[in-house]
Structure 1
Amino acid sequence: MIDPPSQKLMQTLTDLQLCTAADIRRARSRVKRLARDLPAFDSIWLDALVQTGTLTPFQGRSLEKTNGPSLKVGSWLLLDELSYGTRTRTFKAINTDEKSFKEHAFKTITLPQEFLPQIQGRVETTVSDFAPIQHRGLALPRQVFSPSEDQLVVLSSYVPGHHLGELLTRRGRFPAAVVLEIARQLVDSLALLEKHQMQHGDLRLSNVRLNEQGEVVLINVGIAPAISPELVLRDQIAPDQYDGIAPELIGTGNACSIQSDIYALGCLLWQLLGGRPPHPTGDPLAKLAAHQTKSIPDVRLWAPDTPAPLAEIIQHMTRSTIEERPHSFIQLQQLLGPVRQQSRRAVRCFLKQFRSFVPTGEPWKQKSSRLFWVSAVLLIAVCGAASVVLTENGTMPKVWQELAQRLDGLEIEPTSPASESRTSTADNSNTGPAGLKEPRLLPEIEATPLTIPLESEVKQASASGFPAKERLSEFENQQSQLLELPPADENGRLYLTSNGPFRAPDMRGVGSLTIVGASKSRPVIVVEDNPAFFSAVKLTLVNVHFRRKQSSQTNSAPLNELVRVQADELMMSDCSFSEGIPESLPPVSAIAWRSGTPDSYSVAKISAENCAFSSRRSAFKLLSPLGEMQLVNCFKRGMGPLVYTSQTEELHLKLTKSTFRGMYSLVMLHRAETVDSRQPVGLELDQTLIELSGPAPALFGLAGVAPSGNDGAELYVSGYESFLNEDFSFALWKSPSAENEDRIYEAGPDQWDGVMAIPLQFTGQTDGGATNSVVLDESFQGVPRLTEELPGMNAEAIPTLD
């Protein structure tokens, strides 16, 4: 016998009109399965009613809690909770007095009693101003009432779907093509508000919803400025509420305006592209200070695949001064282009990927009609058969000629393999499958566009540490015998089966970028006038080899490094880097590295295994702070240091089973300014050999300004079965002029442990390959050791440097 629901629960369900006697009878079988041998408590009955669809999960939780929200406010029945804040809660609700049972967004606002009448009057004025406006992209407030002395309710149309914040959290940054279509729809809605002299006033991710029809809908329109016309600084709120606050609103008492909405929209689009807010601090007040004192950087630093026109428009939208922003949403409409049917289709296709656990390709890209291609294949087959018959008869009827003329009029142009390769070389970014050009991202407009000075690209490139890259002319590309590196697939992977040689690429990926050379090949990337450039969150190189070649241009800029990397994590295996014949070319570094998020240097990491470096400058030039570097079975030759850095943050280098020969210093620390206290820089050596040479060899080289006090006190070395050659200094500051003397720093008792200095002997000279730098047994005669295995690299696993 199953216990029935309690009398109290039955009375509540009846009063709220949530359940009938038939619903209770239908749920008895589920209650029996859920309860088993236990009594049928009210909680079990609620679970059964939720499973049968009589109650929503929100209603079930609310009825189970003694202090839960009331499910009935006047004639409005609450179905689900959509969002909540410090003073607001939004529900999905229906009016039980209406037969249509249309769903509405039911927003409750808790206010002090003394302020409620004044705020209610402003909200009612806003509702009346919005009355004549109808737009599919606006969920406008349509009704307001006060059910109690401290509560205000605002009703608007319910928009099914997820808001942008939820989607961004689930899958990360949005593709640029989708962001553009979202921007077009948002600007179209905001331009309509502008024509009625209204504005949204609270543009952020949670106030933009995407429905299944591909429509981008603004919610909570005009409610925030009606409640609080001027910005009130509070620290007890969610930080995302300040993600798009314009500087002119902070501490000035100014009301929101079209210009502040343009700034907020620019921050919103920036966040969709970059996957994070422009100012990602978690402190609300610090976020406001950042908007007021800092400029928003170019989004291409975080999303390199963003098209330049879209990135430049967002840059102008987020200018600190009002005069530098677009003056209206109507002007933005002209810049971005109108909303088309394809806009909603692209958003709708993009939403389909959220139905699976992982993203599936790029469904938002426009695809050709399947019916068209099936028809085309059938037509070609029929025409082919007809051509055989007609050719044998020696005749070609007029119908065939007319068909050929119609095919010539189609937009799809058949291409030969040669022309197809030329097209991909000339404009690889604007071509799709089968060599067909994709539609233009931004339309050409006759209205006066926002102009950006040409120096902006140069300034941005210099800010990121890398100068703008010059491109070879088409004639030079045709004359060169170097191959173009193929693009990576949609997962950021590139598998090289050819030896090349390949031209130094400029690859800017999103997420991870992995380049792997096949096991039976030796892909070589040749560096001439410009270094190879890679940008990704994580870069992985396997069996890829970089070689320098004499530049064919007499007036080309000097080359400083073979490879430039912008990534939070760099992983390399079985790679080699060689600067070429020393007598013929000026010295260069092997790798210039910069983190994608310099503010979070502790997560930045470089690791390499079975790699070889030949350079008279550094193997690694660190342009931003690095947290950790790990090298296993690596080899470097040449007088340049292994690492060159100017960071003042803590740095840890772990070198295992490696050999380094012919260097003036292992680590070169550049001091840009005198600092009283520095974070430690440490070496952890495990079965590693270091041969220092030159007129004044030192384990740590100091460059830049003259040190103050004991500037080598933050340096330390610890090791296991690791050895250095004799006659070197622990740390040395080399004076750039004869006016100052060089300064030598010896290691203290706490700065040196487990490493011995002995006369190292190798199988060959420094200028040879790895096989010439194998240590000889004679080096360890009379030296106490813990293992019989020789320290240093395994030369057989090291790539050659020829």
Structure 2
Amino acid sequence: MPFLHWCCRVPMAAEPPAELVDLLEQLGLSGRSELRRVAGTARRLARGLPLFESVWVDALQWSRLLTPYQAQQINAGRAEYLRVGHYLIRSPLPSAGYCRWFEAQRVGCGKLVRLAVRRVGGTRAEQLARSLEQLRQKCSDLPSVHLAPVVDTGQTDGTVWAAVPRADGLTASEWLSRHGRFPPPAVLEIARQMLEALAEIERIGLCHGDISPLALMVNRSGQAVLLHPGLRPVLRPEEGFGHDDLPPEGYDGVAPEQVRDGAPASTATDLYACGTLWWRLLTGRSAAAGGDALGKLCALQRAEVPDVRQFAPGTPEVLAEMIARCGRREPGERPQSIAWLAQRLGPPTPEGRKQLASAVRHPSGGPARWVHPAKPALGGRDARMWVAVVAACVVTAVAAFWAIWREDLAARRPRHGPTAKAVGPFDPAKKRAASDAVAPRAPDADSTTASPSDMAAGDVAQRPPLAASARPEPSAPSADSASGPVVPAAYVAGQREMVVEVADREAFLSAFRALRAGQTIRGAGDRPLVVAVPPGGLAVRDEDVWFENICFVPPHRAEAISSGTSWLVGLRVSQVGFRRCFFRGLAGAPEKIDAIRWSYPADRAVYREGLPSGQIQLQDCVFDQLGAAVACHTAGAVAVRFDNALALRCQRVLALDHAPRWDEPVVLSLRRLTVRGGGPLVECRYQNLDEKPGRVTIRAAGCVFFLERDLPLLRFVGPQPPDPLVAAIRWTGSGSVLAAQGLVAAWIRPGSGAQKLDDSSLAIAGLIRSELTFAGPLSSEPRDSRTTGWQGPLLSPDAPGIDPARLASPAP
């Protein structure tokens, strides 16, 4: 009998690692008994190999005791992140970027929720946790069935979290990506249900703050649910150009005043977000397009919502009217309240709910389906013959119609004047070819634009003012144009602002005095038009204007000194651009002047009311013998962007007049910038330093920094050591080169010399040191500053630094 027992004995399965057992029990995922039940699965997966820890994890996933995300995190050694408070993360969910969203279950009861997680650390985590708890208490009595408010909050080891009830269905973003767009009756019902929920939020003195396709759920029963009202204003109270760290879809629902003025979330911003969301549900596209965060923010700042009936003709009249009113750029022009808007659209109806349920269950669009024929229609040889015949016929037909279409297009092509054209990159060759090919037409008597000669000869007070939007207004067709092509209204509405070309200084000053928001002043000719600025400099007070092909120079030396001119162009607005411009200072002057002095906001009361934001764009520009390329006297979130720019013998490229506060982030974007002679790149002067100053983000790609000896990239001037400010700097990018003898950071205490700072605490990525050689000696000619020699691995085969072909040569 003992012998029989010995023969029938089966080898015992290998025990799972004790560390894995303890980890799973600590997380509440499974215990030793579950691991023993999957031992057979583990042996099958191992196929004779040792039962490593990863094999046991795969066996648990195979048996559906772990989700794929949980198995991935455990195998990657990040299992501790799966437990957040008393919730266990199951899988990630789509997120707008200001926090991470997960599907999670409460430990013990297994209830599923949507969990928002954000890791901040320090005292900031405690402040956010208190704000989230206040939000939970405020939302505790919301009765609407169309809301999924915050029901639980907490903070653990620098991680704050908020739980939202799990809603069935799909987000509007997922539905749109699968099926295109909603039917107009379904959108009307969604709008009515949303307003019923938002009216409850408005009643308790709260605003949603994140009305977007990612925060709207629709289900098969015809119900629309708004997720996490009030959460985004707590986690991300500020928007603007200094906060461009989200993906483009993360800015859906952000209002223009939030980008322009840093205004907080309010009922007015919720109304704008409602209009843009309904517009997107009807059209299947965003009202403010942008391929990246910067493009999205620019579109949000200057654009209004177009008429939705151009893209969705079947939109109900009342819904189209409310979308137009909600999408106004100025908050005062939008509806006065959510309740008023809900009264105009009416309450939800059973019929509307049925239509929404039908749209969700049986969408008209969908992925293409491939249908295979039961049998081939033709044999191999016959099929090849017929394919050749059909292809020959198609080619012949296309060639014939192409020739006819080209002749008809040439006969009907409209003629345009030489001074008003759509904005685009300046190309002298294309401009000459266009002027030779198109004959100028005589100006109309009621034209709102004038030619360069008209602007030079006439007084600006005698010519009609330019339209504020500088866009061509559609006019009734005349008898001469009745046979011309019909331009769609959508094309006219979306056309870029007009350009005014000037040929001399008097014409430039005339156009500058008549400048309106959104316009561009462009210098005529291959080389930049030389403009000696008036004493005291040019003061720009109009938003979103551009200057192209202009060479800004100071007045004569004696006049500049007597008038106290300290800058060439002064900006008192939030957004300005320069393209292919040249800024030249006074050679040999004891006190060099700045190219651009940015004083924004002009009224500091605006900063006390909200956080303003702004940006300057500098494309293909040259700065020569100046004090600072850009001197910032700003408050709020700001961004300065250099694209293919050259700084020659400048004492500073970017000058900050104070250390940014914690709510004043600064973004310096550098692409193919060459700094030769002079320096530093950034200088910050301060009197007081906060314990936690604002973040300064420097993104450098393909740049060259060849500074004067003993001058650093970053220079801090103040009475206190700049350690907190140094710790707030984040340098990212790739392919940039610093001269071998160059310094990274230095501190100057007033009354003493410069002290080299230890750059080991600086977060710098993508910057190498190397010997540098250039195509020629240091001069004002851009081609002499082309980089010809460097040592070090770069990701791009192109030479770092400027592309001289795109830069303007100095005017004689």
**TM-score tier after normalising by the smaller chain length:** 0.3 to 0.5
Larger RCO, structure (CA 8 Å, separation 6 or more): 2
* Higher Cα radius of gyration: 1
TM-score normalised to structure 1 length: 0.45
TM-score normalised to structure 2 length: 0.45
